[in-house]
Structure 1
Amino acid sequence: MELDTGAAHGGAPDAALAQEFVQFCVDAGVLRFGEFKTKAGRLSPYFFNAGLFDDGAKLGRLAQFYAKALVASGIGFDMIFGPAYKGIPLGAAVSIELARLGRNVPFAYNRKEAKDHGEGGTLVGAPLKGRVLIVDDVMSAGTAARESIALIRAAGATPHAIAIALDRQEKATEVGPDGLVRDVDHSAVQYVQRELGMQVCTIARLADLLQYLTTHAGGEADAHRERVLAYRQRYGVS
């Protein structure tokens, strides 16, 4: 886990691991097909709800996927940060799994509201220092990532990399001067890599989901694949 090539990670995940992860998410009901409205107001033919990793067995296996992807990525880091709220249990679970594998690293998270008693402040856990790995579920607009980066920098540490479960590989959005929301020509992951210079580790991408639907061809899978493919053609990034 100490290896760090310095290159921008976030390329294609391990194919076998990605397919195993997509199958796990489908079986767990975390990945669903239908019609779902995203934060950007788009009607998506699939939905990834990390909140449904809702028991010890699911969360433990999810942490194993994160750990395997991180080891394969070669990204080095000194501690883990879990952004409120979904990132808190994710970061904690990943830190436990890494410790089980012999890589014990400090862990911290933030509150949405500052605490005015006890230890106070918005940060909880180990002091933020060194190269920090942010662990979250997905990046849509990148808003949560930017908030985490600001917190980490304010504490004097380095926001070094982000680990996410699923890269939707779709255009991010921004609010223009006129107050209207519009698509941009990059994804949130690409923005973090290109503009912020951070490394990104993903367990699976939209391309892996399409591969899964192709492998499981027939019946509903074919219809799901056509809808997901049409969505990617409209909103996807390369």
Structure 2
Amino acid sequence: MHWKKEFIDFSFKKKALQFGTFKLKSGRTSPYFFNSGLLSTGKDITKIGLFYAHSIMNSKIDFDILFGPAYKGIPIVVATTMALKHHYNFNVSYAFNRKEKKTYGEKGDLIGTEIYRKKVIILDDVMTSGTAVHHSIKIIEEQKATISSIFVLLDRQEKGKRNLSTIQHISNNNSYKITSIITIEDLISYLLEDSKLSKHIPDLIKYRKKYGI
């Protein structure tokens, strides 16, 4: 829990993690919100890359390459490859996608190392119901690559196109493991230790009961 608490402290101080009333893309009204886009300084993204690097190395998952979905996944995947090299002397390649396929020059919709038939880890910022990550899965499957795991900063653990701690991809019925730095349960545990923030706990528990997996 030590490094989970460190990440929550960091996110809260940077106001990337906020409590209140927020309308999500899914249409749900949430009592908390995480915006990784606010972690936008060199120091911030270096720290984020290190959290991912620690999590990846602790997982002992076998993989060849890291993939960052456009747009928020791009700085994440770059920072993580740098952290893996600097702190673990592990020199891994990365790739990311374009939002729109390029029709000139090298063409295509992928940038970075080729992922064809490679073992891939997807790095994203927030997992809610799992809808957004399906696009990344589709891109990787089209390259006949294998998805080793999906790593996220925050897993909101909500009902949607997923099954418990995995995500179920519709086209092939495969389940892919999700590894998160923190979950909503970690947030609740964190709030229990802070008398000023504990007032938010009932709203989080109510939301978790309504939408949680």
TM-score relative to the length of structure 2: 0.91
Contact kept? 1:75, 1:199, Cα under 8 Å: no
> Cα distance, 1:143 vs. partner?
2.7
Q: Does 1:164 pair with 2:140?
A: no
Q: Which residues in structure 2 correspond to 1:81-160 (within 5 Å)?
A: 81-100=67-86, 101-129=88-116, 130-160=118-148
- Greater mean deviation of Cα atoms: 149-158 or 119-128: 149-158
Give the counterpart letter for 1:214 in structure 2: L
Contact kept? 2:127, 2:157, Cα under 8 Å: no
Q: Unaligned stretches of 5+ in structure 2? A: none
- Whole-angstrom distance in 2 between the partners of 1:199 and 1:160: 8
Contact kept? 2:166, 2:176, Cα under 8 Å: no
| Alignment correspondent of 1:234 | 210
> Cα distance, 1:163 vs. partner?
0.7
Question: Percent identity among equivalent residues?
Answer: 39
Higher strand share: 2
Higher relative contact order (CA 8 A, sep 6+): 1
Q: Which residues in structure 2 correspond to 1:183-202 (within 5 Å)?
A: 186=163, 189-192=165-168, 195-202=173-180
TM-score relative to the length of structure 1: 0.82
Q: Unaligned stretches of 5+ in structure 1? A: 1-14, 174-183
State the number of aligned residues: 209
> Cα distance, 1:191 vs. partner?
2.8
> Cα distance, 1:24 vs. partner?
0.9
Q: Does 1:60 pair with 2:46?
A: yes
Which portions of structure 1, spanning 4 or more consecutive aligned residues, are displaced by more than 4 angstroms?
none
1:223 to 195, 199, 212: 199
- Whole-angstrom distance in 1 between the partners of 2:201 and 2:127: 22
| Alignment correspondent of 1:177 | none
Give the counterpart letter for 1:37 in structure 2: K
> Cα distance, 1:153 vs. partner?
1.8
1:51 to 37, 46, 49: 37
